[in-house]
Amino acid sequence: MEPRSRPNTRSGPDPLDFLAVDNQLSEDERAIGQAVRRYAAKELAPHVRDWYARGTFDRSIAPGLGRLGLLGMHLRGFGCSGTSAVAYGVACRELEAVDSGLRSFVSVQGSLAMFAIHRWGSEEHKEEWLPRMARGDVIGCFGLTEADAGSDPGSMRTSARRLGTDWVVNGSKMWITNGEIADIAVVWAATEQGIRGFVVPTTVPGFTTRAVRDKLSLRASVTSELFLDDVRLPADAMLPGAAGLRGPLSCLNEARYGILWGAVGAARACYDEALTFTTLRSQFGRPLASFQLTQRKLADLLIAVNSAALVALQIGRLKDNGGVHPTQISFGKLANVRAALDVARTARGMLGAAGVTLDYAVMRHMANLESVVTYEGTEEMHMLALGRQLTRISAFR
């Protein structure tokens, strides 16, 4: 295995923040990023290789993330930190620089399950669940996708019908992060009044899960199927504010926002590893970094990472100012994950055979990003969303 640090002999711009993007952050945003980076390096990075190799996720990290204020951090009240959108994005960036599975856990907890309750739930829902979820004492999952309803959630088969004052839910959900370890599930189901959301404690009779095994990506993350067999819920389990697809799609938009920042972290980590490796490894009597082709690749990675960072920051500022459009978030998710995948694939090649082992992070990031490019909207769906915005013509409806 190659040495993992290179001598700091450079002057001029920081190789990892060449355009000084972090200088544009507020003092609080910068402090949050630094705190998350330190915590992730100390508490998470030493274990992630083993979690990935074994295909496990350690639920016990949740309270630590809660103490750091990362769970639902961009939500206000009910024990949540109420930070800026940019601060939340910077935290996602630092978590995904370690592993996409860690950012995915925080995204699902805060931007899907907690956001759904915060935005669409009753006061009783918020008071009962959000403080405990913010502490990491209760873990949530988000049940929207089905085996035959991925990009087209309106075709879901999971249904809820009234039985007296109660609801009875039947159906199944697929590719659900946190499913097996969740204490509550926000489940979306078709009713006679349209699609509605329900808060489902995972201990209710008829609710079961099954792990998705043999994953080659996001292995340090729990992915599950959910099964609801005559799950009976009281009337107040329904999220009162969400009617139709507007509810779940608003949650997905929140999650996509975290993803477009997280991709910057994964890309930066791969670029950093390629720069370190090629600086320290010698062939033909000279460092790999001294060859013209290597320097061209490093320059390409530098541009991709810093361009993605600028995209993330701009979209974050738009979000904080209340002026971000869903298609701008689609732009960021599409552009930044695509860039991160290109960076990871190039960096993997620059490490040669060493790049396919877990001694280095590039292949792990590359495999994870193959999931990231698919979930919360595939490349194709984001392209069509942008095309529809530009032409005012829908290509998929």
The tens digit of pLDDT for each residue in 37-88 reads 999 999 999 999 999 999 999 999 999 999 999 999 999 999 999 999 999 9
Q: Are 118 and 131 in the same domain?
A: yes
Given a cut of 80, whether residue 4 has pLDDT beyond it is no
State what percent of residues in the chain have pLDDT above 70: 97
Given a cut of 50, whether residue 300 has pLDDT beyond it is yes
Q: Look at residue 2 in the predicted model and tell me its pLDDT.
A: 41
Please give the residue range of the domain that contains residue 219.
140-242
Q: Look at residue 332 in the predicted model and tell me its pLDDT.
A: 98
Residue keyed to tokens 């499913």: 179
Number of domains into which the chain is organized: 3
Please tell me whether residue 200 adopts helix, strand or coil conformation.
strand
75 phi and psi angles, rounded to 5 deg: -95, 155
Given a cut of 70, whether residue 320 has pLDDT beyond it is yes
**pLDDT class of 10 with cuts at 50, 70, 90:** low
Q: Are 154 and 55 in the same domain?
A: no
Looking at every residue in the chain, the average pLDDT score rounds to 95
To the query of whether residue 376 is one of the catalytic residues in this protein, the response is: yes
Average pLDDT over residues 315-342: 97
**Is position 9 within any domain?**
no
Contact 88, 106 (CB under 8 A): no
Average pLDDT over residues 364-368: 98
Q: Look at residue 396 in the predicted model and tell me its pLDDT.
A: 78
The tens digit of pLDDT for each residue in 183-213 reads 999 999 999 989 999 999 999 999 999 999 9
**Of 135, 166, 195, which one is at a domain's C-terminal end?**
135
Q: What is the CA radius of gyration of the chain?
A: 21
Q: Which of 123, 225, 376, 379 is catalytic?
A: 376
Q: Look at residue 5 in the predicted model and tell me its pLDDT.
A: 58
The pTM score is: 0.94
Q: Are 379 and 272 in the same domain?
A: yes
Dihedral, CA of residue 140, residue 215, residue 61 and residue 100, to nearest 10:
-90
**Is position 1 within any domain?**
no
Q: Are 288 and 381 in the same domain?
A: yes
Q: Look at residue 3 in the predicted model and tell me its pLDDT.
A: 40
| Residue from 57, 85, 62 nearest 258 by CA | 85
Q: Are 109 and 168 in the same domain?
A: no
Q: Look at residue 112 in the predicted model and tell me its pLDDT.
A: 97
Q: How far apart are CA 172 and CA 174, in angstroms?
A: 7
Q: Are 386 and 293 in the same domain?
A: yes
Q: Are 266 and 375 in the same domain?
A: yes
Q: Look at residue 180 in the predicted model and tell me its pLDDT.
A: 96
Q: Look at residue 7 in the predicted model and tell me its pLDDT.
A: 54
